[in-house]
Structure 1
Amino acid sequence: MAEQDSGRWFLRTMIRKGRNTTGRSQREVGDEVDRSKDTISDWEKGKTDIPILAIDGLASACNLSAEICSYMKSVARARKNSTPIEADMRYNALFLALAEEYSGFIFKFDILIIPGPLQIRVYHDNVVRVIDPFATDEDLEDGWGFKEERAESLEARTDLPTVHFLIGEGALLMLRQISEEIYQEQMAHLRSWAQKPGIVIRILRAPVPVRLGSFDIYKPGRNKLASPPFVYTEIADSSWCISDPDRIAGYDEIRKMLWNLAIRIEDYHDDDRRDSLAQEHP
C-alpha cells in the first residue's frame, strides 16, 4: 500500500463517506466518472492517489457539496506540493470534522473561547458574535449548524475515543462578564459533557503565550479508520493542518505541559478565584 498521510486519508475517507451516504456502489460511482470499480476501490483504500482532475466528478457522484469539492482540491494540491494544508478556518474545519468522526485521541485547546462542539446555542449567538463582529447572520447560522453536527458526531461514536478539551480560564471569565445566566448554563453543559465516557475537560488558569493559545492534536489511537497524526493551528487569516512528525512531537510536548498545569472542570470553582483577584486589585 502507498504511504499514508493525513491529506490522502481525508480525500479517500470523504469519498467513501459520501458514497456510502448516497447508498451508491463503487461500480455505480465508477460508471459515472468513467473509471472501473477496482479503481474506485483502490482510491478509497488509499492504494493509489485520487487525481486532482477526477475530484469534481467524484464529488458530484458522491453528492458532496461544492464547498467540500473545492476544499478537496486544495488538499490534493497541498499533498502534491508536500506542504501543510493551509486554508481559511472554515475550510480546514471540514478536515477537523471528519477527523473527529474517526480519531482515537483528540486534544482541543483554546485560551479564549470554548471549543465549538462544547458550545451551547446561546453562547454561540452572543459570545461568538462579540468575538467575530464581521460575521453575518447567515455565517452565524451556518456556523451553529456545523457545530451541532460535530457535537452529534462525537456523541454518536461507539468506539469510545479519548477526547481532551482544555479551556483557558479567560474564556470563562469573559463569558461571565457578558452574562452570568449564559455562564451558568454553559458551565452546566460543560460538566454534563465531562460525564460522558472518554471525555475529559480541564481548565487552564496559567498564562500562555499568544502563539500557543489555540491548537488541536489528532491521533489514530486504536481506530483503524482514523487519520495519521496531525496538528491543527490557526492565526487571524489562515490555518494549517500539519503532518510533519517533528512538529507534531513538539506540539505534543506543549500539550502535556499545559494539561498537567490544568485542573479538572469537576474541581473548578471560580468564585474563590474572583474574590482573590478582587482583594489583590481593589
Structure 2
Amino acid sequence: MAKTKSGAWFIRMMLRTGRDRVGKTQEQIARACRVSTDTYRAYEAGRSSPHARNMEKLAKQCGYDEEMAEYMVKAADSRDEEWEALEANPRFNALYIALAEHFYGEIFKFDALMIPGLLQLQGYHYLVVRLAEPLANDEFMDGGWDFKETRIADIEARADRPIFQFLIGEAALIQLRMVSEELYQEQMAHLRRWARRPGVSIRILRGPVLAQRSNFSIYHVGKSPQAGPAIAYSEIVDSSWLIDDPKRIASYDEIRKILWKQAIRIEVYNDDDWRYSLA
C-alpha cells in the first residue's frame, strides 16, 4: 500500500489517466486483473490503494510500459524511507510533475537561467537547451521534446482554468538573444501569447538570484477537486526533489512571494533594455 499522500495520489491518477487513454472501462480493467469492479473503483477514487503485488498487472492493463509499471509498483510499496529515495528520482519526478500540471489548480514555476519547459518553442529546445546539455544525444533531445509536447497538450485539454505563474530570470532572455536574435523575437512573442491565456501570468525577474533559489516549482490544490497534496519541486546537479512537507512548502511560498513582487510583467517588459543589464 502507498504510505504517503503523494504516492497514493500518483497511483490513482496514473490508473485513471492510463485507462482513459487506452479507452477501457473500469469493469474491463477489474475483470482482467481479477479484482471486483467496486475494488477498482475505490482505487481510482482514492478510497483505497492497490497492493504492490497487483500493481504491475494493473499498470499494464492501463497501457503502461515496464518502466512506468515499475515506478507505480515502487510507489505502491513505498515506506517513508523508500519514498525519500523515490522522490529524488528525476524520471519519477518528471512523471509526477506531468500529472500535477494536468490536475493541480495553482502552479508556480521559476527558472533564473532557462525559459520553463512548458513555454519553450521547439527551436529553443533544440538550440538553447541543447547548448545547456552538452552531453545530450539526439535520442535524448527528441524524447525531451516529445515529453514537453505531451505536457502542453494535456494542459490545453483541461476543461477548467488553472492558475499558472511563470517567473523567468532576465539572464535567460539575455543568453537567448546572444545565441539568436531571430529566435529571441519568436520566443518573446510566444511568451506574450501565453500570457494572454486565461489564468496565466508571466513575469521577468531582473538582478542576481542565489543559486539555491534559482529553480523551483510549487503546486497547490487551488480549485481543482482532482489535485493531490501541495508539493514543491526543485533540481540540483545530479538529482531532483519532490517535497510534500507542508512546512518546507510554506518556506518556498515565502520566497515565491518576494521574487514575484520584484519582477516585471511580460506585457510591460522592455526587451530593448537588455544591454543595460550587462553594464
Q: Against the structure 1 CA distance between its residues 236 and 75, is the aligned structure 2 distance closer, same or farther, given a 3 Å change threshold? A: farther
CA RMSD after TM alignment: 1.8
Structure 2 distance, partners of 1:277, 1:111, is 14
Q: Against the structure 1 CA distance between its residues 88 and 6, is the aligned structure 2 distance closer, same or farther, given a 3 Å change threshold? A: closer
Structure 1 distance, partners of 2:15, 2:222, is 22
SS at match of 1:203: strand
Identity, in percent, stands at 49
Q: Against the structure 1 CA distance between its residues 22 and 215, is the aligned structure 2 distance closer, same or farther, given a 3 Å change threshold? A: same
Q: After the TM superposition, which residues 154-233 of structure 1 pair with which residues of structure 2 at under 5 Å, given as runs?
A: 154-233=155-234
Q: Against the structure 1 CA distance between its residues 11 and 187, is the aligned structure 2 distance closer, same or farther, given a 3 Å change threshold? A: same
**Structure 1 residue 158: Cα displacement:** 2.2
**Structure 1 residue 82: Cα displacement:** 7.0
List alignment gaps of at least 5 residues for structure 1: none
**Structure 1 residue 3: Cα displacement:** 9.6
Q: Is the 8 A contact 2:204 2:263 kept in 1?
A: yes
Deviation larger for 72-81 or 172-181 = 72-81
What does residue 73 of structure 2 align with? 73
What does residue 261 of structure 1 align with? 262
Number of residue equivalences: 277
Structure 1 distance, partners of 2:250, 2:190, is 32
Structure 1 distance, partners of 2:227, 2:16, is 13
Q: After the TM superposition, which residues 96-175 of structure 1 pair with which residues of structure 2 at under 5 Å, given as runs?
A: 96-175=97-176
Q: TM-score, normalised by structure 2?
A: 0.93
List alignment gaps of at least 5 residues for structure 2: none
Q: What letter matches 2:98 in structure 1?
A: A
**Structure 1 residue 23: Cα displacement:** 2.1
**Structure 1 residue 14: Cα displacement:** 0.7
Deviation larger for 131-140 or 41-50 = 41-50
**Structure 1 residue 89: Cα displacement:** 2.6
Q: Is the 8 A contact 2:3 2:78 kept in 1?
A: no
Q: Against the structure 1 CA distance between its residues 273 and 24, is the aligned structure 2 distance closer, same or farther, given a 3 Å change threshold? A: closer
SS at match of 2:87: strand
What does residue 62 of structure 1 align with? 62
**Structure 1 residue 24: Cα displacement:** 1.7
Deviation larger for 107-116 or 76-85 = 76-85
Deviation larger for 45-54 or 186-195 = 45-54
Q: What letter matches 1:47 in structure 2?
A: R
Structure 2 distance, partners of 1:250, 1:106, is 16
SS at match of 1:158: coil
Structure 1 distance, partners of 2:95, 2:114, is 19
Q: TM-score, normalised by structure 1?
A: 0.92
